[in-house]
Amino acid sequence: MAINDIHTPVLLDRCVELLAPALERPGAVLVDATLGMGGHAEAFLQRFPELVLVGLDRDLDALAIAEERLKPFRDRVHLVHTVYDGIQDALAGLGIPEVAGVLFDLGVSSLQLDRVERGFSYSKDAPLDMRMDNTSDLTAERILATYSEQELRRIFHEYGEEKLAARYAKAIVEARDTIPFVRSAQLVAVITAVTPVVVQRAGHPAKRVFQALRIEVNQELAVLERAIPAALDSVAVGGRIVVMAYQSLEDRIVKQILAKASGSTAPAGLPIELPEHKPLFKLLIRGAELASDEEKAKNPRATPVRLRAAERLRRAA
């Protein structure tokens, strides 16, 4: 099956439209901070024949697929195995001081979801892995085996926004004393057994627990809190950043960081805004932009997306 048949990049045309003004200059560098299978990257390299692309990903399988996909552009592509908060180190290693654009397509990728053995899906039985980088040590199995009931309750509540976090944590700790959790079906069975029927009717009871475990395994929110400021620091004047988030916790972090970067630092009551207090960035979109109904129908994975974008106005004094 062709890669394009299994991977449809989310909001591709809109991402190109937003980043184009910054990428049309000769020798412009775009960082695809979440390269995945290279769908967005391929489109940008085709659209901008002088563009240099730096692709980052923590998933070695994704990097291998993207490398093959981007072979026609190999002279303009640099691929780096790193988590996206390593953007500045990656650029320094390539001798690139600043970039024209940065793209983030957050969350779990199509590749990770579609490969059952990676353990990301609650709907298919698989080993409890959930690592985006299979060279890292922490897995969902290890979390379920070693975290205390209080720690499990915390991550289910904070990262899954799960109202039944305490009930699920207690059930997991009681169950693991008899049989260790090694497969996703075991976890789903325990969660389902202690979930009221009325709650089950509202959606799969394991959805939020699996989200929380995935975030904890990959430290997604902590990484994101470091990555967006690092990316902003790497953007040249006139350069742009586009971020696509798929759940509220990610989007809230992105929103807050971009709001701060695009706000004045003038003290309250100052009659005149001095140049050093002017915003470093301007927002390109009011609020978060959603996928159109047409896009959602064509690509269901675009349904929860929240897109935000900004442009650098100046460097800090």
Matching fold, domains 3-105+220-312 and 117-218: no
Mean pLDDT within 181-203: 94
Least Cα distance to 243 among 232, 51, 212 occurs for 232
pLDDT tens digits for range 306-315: 999 999 999 8
Confirm or deny that 40 is annotated as ligand binding: yes
Architecture of domain 117-218 in CATH?
Orthogonal Bundle (1.10)
Confirm or deny that 112 is annotated as ligand binding: yes
Please state the pTM of the whole predicted model: 0.91
- pLDDT band of residue 2 (cuts 50, 70, 90) is very low
Tell me what the pLDDT averaged over the chain comes to: 92
Spatial strand order in the sheet of 77-81: 77-81, 52-57, 29-32, 99-105, 235-245, 306-312, 281-283
Classified as helix, coil or strand, 91 is: helix
pLDDT tens digits for range 110-128: 666 666 667 788 888 999 9
Confirm or deny that 38 is annotated as ligand binding: yes
Asked whether 298 and 8 are in contact (CB, 8 A), the reply is yes
Contacts of 64 (CB under 8 A, 6+ apart): none
What's the token pair of residue 45? 């390299």
CATH of 3-105+220-312, one of 3.40.50.150, 3.40.1260.10, 3.40.30.10, 3.40.920.10: 3.40.50.150
The number of residues in the chain equals: 317
Q: Where are the domains of the chain?
A: 3-105+220-312, 117-218
pLDDT tens digits for range 285-296: 999 999 999 999
pLDDT tens digits for range 130-153: 999 888 999 999 999 999 999 999
Q: What is the pLDDT of residue 264?
A: 72
Statement: residue 4 has pLDDT above 60:
no
